Structure 1
Amino acid sequence: MLGLFMLRDKASLLDIFKAGQLAIEFARGMSREQLASDVMRQSAILYQIAIVGEATKRLSRNFREQHPEVPWDDIAGMRDIIAHQYDRLDLDIVWQASDSAKSTGVASCDRAFITSA
């Protein structure tokens, strides 16, 4: 059973990696003001953030507990807001999350992190 959780964790981490990279790529070179006026990019970035949040929820409790430095609940919570409270979305928070992901590397977890699952 443990092997099954490890395989699922690896698959989920790969999804997080890919979606995080896409979100960063979609926001590359844009200012906060440019993003505010580009509904298509907003939508693309929000979709990738939702994927990151959903994949985070699929990670085993054991894996998440082994990596307490990552704000798993906040990441999953962002997905819930995008999916269920879309009318409450705050573009400033989305922009801060995107900017934080770029600077801290959370969204661009490297292959070594993925293979550690």
Structure 2
Amino acid sequence: MPSDEEIILDLYHALNQILTFTQNMDKQEFVDDEKTQSSVLYQLVIMGEAVNRLSEQFKNQYPKIPFNEIRGMRNRVVHEYKEVDCDIIWEAIQKDIPALIYFISSINEND
């Protein structure tokens, strides 16, 4: 079984992939680009899967990471894919993902 450190690296990679895929895009370009949407949604699934594999000890150690929200986004993408709202995804790309990258980077610096 992968260690929490390996899993966090998977999460970090997925976050960075999303930013790479959407770099230099505005919201309308994202909404119009199904290929990019699909790529982003796949990375959201990976993020949810990664969070599901983290130990309870790790999750308790870092309560500021929104594990339930990440898992919930994954579940929404997988089970209710026709109801995924591009506005919510775009907002997450603009605000939540950079904040999460920053927070995960600070974890690695402190360890």
TM-score, length of structure 1 as denominator length: 0.84
Q: State the partner residue of 1:14.
A: 9
Aligned length: 110
Q: Distance in 2 between matches of 1:90 and 1:113?
A: 32
Mapping of 1:1-117 within 5 angstroms? 7-104=2-99, 106-107=100-101, 109-110=104-105, 112-113=107-108, 116=111
Q: Distance in 2 between matches of 1:9 and 1:87?
A: 32
CA change 1:102–1:73 in 2 (3 A) is: closer
CA change 1:114–1:21 in 2 (3 A) is: farther
CA change 1:114–1:59 in 2 (3 A) is: farther
Q: Which runs of 5+ in 1 are unaligned?
A: none
> Contact conserved, 1:13 with 1:114, CA < 8 A, in 2?
no
> Contact conserved, 2:7 with 2:54, CA < 8 A, in 1?
yes
Give 1:102 deviation, angstroms: 4.5
Give 1:53 deviation, angstroms: 1.1
CA change 1:44–1:114 in 2 (3 A) is: farther
> Contact conserved, 2:16 with 2:101, CA < 8 A, in 1?
yes
> How large is the RMSD of aligned CA atoms in angstroms?
2.0
Q: Distance in 2 between matches of 1:90 and 1:114?
A: 34
> Contact conserved, 1:16 with 1:107, CA < 8 A, in 2?
no
Q: Which runs of 5+ in 2 are unaligned?
A: none
CA change 1:83–1:47 in 2 (3 A) is: same
Q: Distance in 2 between matches of 1:81 and 1:66?
A: 26
Instruction: Name the aligned partner's letter for residue 39 of structure 2.
Output: A
Instruction: Name the aligned partner's letter for residue 60 of structure 1.
Output: S
